[in-house]
Amino acid sequence: MQRIRNLLALGILLLAQGTDALAQGSDAFEQNQRLGRGVNVLGYDPIWKDRSRGRFQAEHFRLIHEAGFNHVRINLHPFRDCGATITEPYFQTLDWAIEQALANKLMVMVDFHEFTAMARDPNGLKDRFLAMWTQLSQRYKDQPSDVLFEILNEPNSKLTPQLWNEYLREALAIIRRTNPVRTVVIGPAQWNQVSQLDKLELPDADRNIIVTIHSYTPMEFTHQGAPWTNQRDKVGVSWEGTPKEREVITAMFDQAQAWSKQHNRPIHLGEFGVYDKAEMPSRVRYLDFVTREAEKRGWSWAYWQFDSDFIVYDIPGKRWIAPVRDALIPPPERKEN
């Protein structure tokens, strides 16, 4: 009998410790509100191969904060840049980026961006994918709650919704071994489309998860002239903000919001934007509408992207693309001096 009492006492103690650990974690909805307005950075910068060739510099984190952004989504391509495992020089670059972001009062989303490779060969790359999450989660286990992990950007193609549900659970379990209370970001399959939310299966007991969606609707406008798409020869498409055009977006956002309320999960609009070939007045109308609609629903968002294409900042020219920046963050709300 005494042994049973001892076991019960131990169980109660472990349960209490677990409850305390969970209490120390951040509420996902609160984290999502703190994320607020963000921008995608560093995905295609040569800095990952050679720090001395980096376009992105420490001053850009300061500029991002001063413009009124609250977080950066750092796009990682470790398959492309590292080989079998994440190398120490690569980690040192990521260490630098995280440190600079935090020093400039920016939250950080560490985004595993190898969606193309994972879509082509999910089975062949699974072990490597999980091993890299073991490395990442161990490396950053002591970072503050302002650092979030996004398991995989835009799973698609051969990484089917069913297979993705298996992979995300395994990756999440690896993360939770060393980061039991860190906020993790997970999106649905098929390019993080809203239409796939109902197929997303998350561990119900794990409430420190933010769900991310992406939206480039309508593609014929947002990707006009983009050479990697079937819109490459379609230019001159405008977005006037007509009731019909707005309804396409609001209906999709309403669908995501209904799912959010049903499942009690916060929403992060992790990517949206307009390719540079679109006329500026249409870009401004579209971006202002999308961001305000996301904010109206209490979502955080991250614009695609800081530089390269879809840009909001011209690094060689050392200047903001002011109309795009002002559409995302209206001038009265900026922190610039």
| Average pLDDT, integer, range 191-219 | 98
Torsion sign over Cα 185, 269, 271, 291: negative
| Average pLDDT, integer, range 190-205 | 98
Encode pLDDT of 207-219 as tens digits. Answer: 999 999 999 999 9
How many alpha carbons fall within 13 Å on the CB side of residue 44? 8
| Average pLDDT, integer, range 134-161 | 98
DSSP-based three-state secondary structure for 37: strand
- Note the helical H segments in the chain: 2-24, 28-35, 58-66, 78-82, 88-103, 115-120, 122-139, 161-178, 189-192, 219-222, 243-263, 280-296, 322-328
The C-alpha angle 24, 168, 28, rounded to 5 degrees, equals 30
pTM, entire model: 0.92
Encode pLDDT of 235-272 as tens digits. Answer: 999 999 999 999 999 999 999 999 999 999 999 999 99
Q: Is the pLDDT of residue 20 over 50?
A: no
Q: In 10 A of CB 309, how many CB atoms?
A: 13
- 148 DSSP β-pair partners: 109
Task: Give domain limits for the chain.
Answer: 29-333
Residue 30 φ then ψ, to 5°: -65, -45
The yes/no answer on whether domain 29-333 falls in CATH 3.20.20.80 is yes
